[in-house]
Amino acid sequence: MGCHKLLLSELKMWTSGRSGWISRLHYGISWRGKASFSSCSPKVCIVGGGPAGFYTAQHLIKARQDAEVDIYERLPVPFGLVRFGVAPDHPEVKNVINTFTQTAKHSRCSFYGNVNVGKDVSVEELQQAYHAVVLSYGAEGNRRMGVPGEDLAGVHSAKDFVGWYNGQPSCRELRPDLNCETAVILGQGNVALDVARILLSPIDILKKTDITQPALEALAESQVRRVLIVGRRGPMQVACTIKELREMVNLPGARPEMVVADFEGVTEALKDLPRPRKRLTELMLKTALEIPGEKEQERRNKASHIWGFRFFRSPVEVLADPDRSRAAGIRLAVNKLEGSGEAARAVLTGEVEDVTCGLVISSIGYKSLPIDPSVPFDSRKAIVPNSMGRVQQAAGVYCSGWLKTGPTGVIGTTMNNSFDTAQSLVEDMNSGTLDVSTGKPGSQSISTLLEKRGVKPVTFADWEKIDNVEIKRGEASGKPREKLLTVEEMLQVART
C-alpha cells in the first residue's frame, strides 16, 4: 500500500468511527513510546552502536526530515570503540559521545542494546521490517601473525589487551602476566603506541582515568620496564601520528632507546616528504640522534622505564620457555627495503635475531567478521563488498565504518566514511532506487520477534542508568567512571 493510499484509508476510518481511527493511530506509536511520524516514513535500521553507526544515523536524520532510524547493538552499552578502544588517558577523544547522545535522544532515533543481530534476529528479518539496513558493526576479529608459538601464554592481540584495560566484557578474563622485564609490541600504529604508553605510564597518571580497576591493580604490580615497538619497514613508514609519538617522547619516567643505524639516509630523504610525515620523521630523528639538552638528559637519567622503535623486523616465531608453556622471547627476521616512501616493501635478508621477552602483543590490525550468511563477505579483505557503502548483490543493504573500508584511520575518518554511506542511502531514497513508498513496520515487528525469543532490548534510557552508576562509582575513587565489567551487571542496573 502506497503512502498516499494509507493516509486516505486513515481518513476513511476516521469518518467511519473514531475507535477505528484511534486504533490505527495506535499502530503509529512505536513500542518504545516514541511517536512514529508516519507508517510510511522511511525506516532505516543500523546494526552496530559504535562511531560508524552513530555517524550514519546522525547524517540520515539531518538529511531526511522524515527518516526514522533504529540502532541495534550487541552489547547493552553504546559507543563501541569510543568506549572500548580509545586509551583511558585520552578523555578528549571521548567527547564525541556528547554528539552521539544527542543523536540517540532525537525523536526519530531509537537505540536497542543487548540485541545480537545474526543470532537474536537475522538480517533478512530486518530487511522485511525496514526499508534499508546499514551494517556498521566494525571489526571484532584479530588478524593473526601466522607464526609458530603465537598461541603460547604471554602472547596477546592488541585488540584484546586494549579491551582488557578498557572494560570490554569479552576481555575481562585476559589477565596478562606482567611479571617480565621486556614486552615486545608488533606493529607501529597508534594502537601499538597506546599499549606501550599504558604499560609504561606512572600509576598516578592512570588512576585518574577510567581504566578498569583490575587493570590498574595489575599495572601497579607490573615488572615491565622495557617496551620495544617493532615494525617490518623503516622510520619513514611508521603508521602512528605525531601526537602519539610526542606522548611517548615526553612520557614521565621513561626514556627512548633507538638503534642509530635504523635512521641511515633518513635525514637526506626528509626534504621530499609531505608535511605531516616530515614532522613525524623529524621528531623521530631528534629523539633518536640528537644529544639532549641538560634538562632532558637529567630527566632521561632518572627514568626507570625504556621504550624504543625497532625497524626492519618481522616476527618469525614466538620462542617458548623450557617447559614450552609460555613465551620467553621472539625471533625476528631482519628486513631491507625495496622502493621508497609509502610504497616501500620489506624484503627478507635471511638474517634473524632473537629478543628475550615475556610479553608479546600483536598490533597488526583488527578484522571484520561475517554476520549472516545472507550478506556477501570478502574473507580475503575482511570487508563487505560495496560501492560507496551500497552492498553489492544485496538491494537495500548498506555498510559503513571499518566493515566498509577495513580497519584504517581515526574517528574523523570513520565520520566521513559513514556520512558518505548515509549520503548514498539518501540519494537512493530520493531517486526511487530504494522504494520507500510502501509502509514498513520497523521496530514494531522486530520487538515482537525478540519478545517471542526471550530477548529484552536495552533502551538509551536504560543505558543512562548504567552511565550514572559508573560515574558514581568513579567519583568514589577519584576517577571519571568505574565501568561495569560484565553484561550481567550491565543488565541488572539497566533493569533496576
Q: What is the mean pLDDT of each run of 10 residues along the chain (496 residues)?
A: 40 34 33 46 97 97 96 98 95 95 98 97 97 95 91 96 97 95 97 98 97 97 98 95 96 96 93 92 95 94 97 97 94 93 90 98 92 93 95 94 90 93 97 94 96 97 98 95 98 96
Q: Residue 213 contacts by C-beta under 8 Å, 6 or more apart in sequence?
A: 477, 482
State in words which class domain 143-366 has: alpha beta
> Do 25-140+368-458 and 143-366 come out as alike in CATH topology?
no
Report how far residue 360's alpha carbon sits from residue 353's, in angstroms, rounded to the nearest whole number. Answer: 15
Residue 283 C-alpha cell reads as: 621528531
Scan for cell 561475517, then name that residue.
370
141, 371 in Cβ contact below 8 A?
Answer: no
Q: Is the dihedral of CA 169, 174, 175, 176 positive or negative?
A: negative
Q: Residue 338 contacts by C-beta under 8 Å, 6 or more apart in sequence?
A: 344, 345, 347
Q: Residue 323 contacts by C-beta under 8 Å, 6 or more apart in sequence?
A: none
Report how far residue 123's alpha carbon sits from residue 395's, in angstroms, rounded to the nearest whole number. Answer: 12
Q: Report if pTM > 0.85.
A: yes
Residue 272 pLDDT: 87
460, 104 in Cβ contact below 8 A?
Answer: yes
Scan for cell 627476521, then name that residue.
333
Domain boundaries defined on the chain: 25-140+368-458, 143-366
Residue 357 C-alpha cell reads as: 621477552
Q: Where are the beta strands (DSSP E) in 48-196?
A: 68-72, 109-112, 132-135, 141-142, 155-157, 182-186
Residue 141 pLDDT: 86
Residue 39 pLDDT: 55
Q: Which of 414, 399, 426, 435 is nearest to 62 (CA)?
A: 426
Report how far residue 245's alpha carbon sits from residue 266's, in angstroms, rounded to the nearest whole number. Answer: 17
At residue 462, what is the residue type? Answer: D
Residue 69 pLDDT: 98
Q: Which of 235, 220, 357, 238 is nearest to 289 (CA)?
A: 235
148, 331 in Cβ contact below 8 A?
Answer: no
Residue 393 pLDDT: 87
Q: What are phi and psi of 356, to 5 degrees?
A: -75, 125
CA distance from start to end of the chain: 42
Residue 327 C-alpha cell reads as: 613465551
- Please determine, looking at this structure, whether the domain spanning 25-140+368-458 carries the CATH number 3.30.1330.60: no
Q: Are strands 313-320 and 305-310 parallel, antiparallel or unpaired?
A: unpaired
Residue 492 pLDDT: 98
